[in-house]
Amino acid sequence: MSYQPAKKRKRFLAPQEKYEIWMQLVRGEITVAEAAGSAGVDRSTIAKLREVARQGALDALAASRPGRRDSVRDVELEQARAEAERLRAALAEMAVRLTLLEGKGHWG
């Protein structure tokens, strides 16, 4: 029998832990290797955390607009209007199909 090392149990970081690690990395207080060692995870986990945080920040900044902020209610209203428009278009398409199908019977 060959010896196989025991598998290391996967450790999941809480969102607050991830944020703290990311902030320490941004401030230059620790390196990726130090963060991985202190958190008990692989360096690739920290590298992925850093990339996800960076992309999330870029996405949030791209979505933000200067000036008055839209309220949650405005956003929900826009979503409801978009859904109503989608349903209107689908209903119109079904009405056209039904008209065409019913119309074929008169030609035969």
Task: Express each pLDDT in 50-82 by its tens digit.
Answer: 999 999 999 888 888 777 666 667 888 888 999
Does a structural domain hold residue 4?
Answer: no
Verdict on whether the full-model pTM lies above 0.85: no
Percentages helix, strand, coil for the chain (3-state, rounded to 5) are 70, 0, 30
Query: Higher-confidence residue: 5 or 36?
Result: 36
Domain coverage including residue 56: 11-63
- 88 and 106 share a domain? yes
What pLDDT does residue 29 have? Answer: 95
Does a structural domain hold residue 108?
Answer: yes
What pLDDT does residue 105 have? Answer: 57
Does a structural domain hold residue 97?
Answer: yes
Domain count, the chain: 2
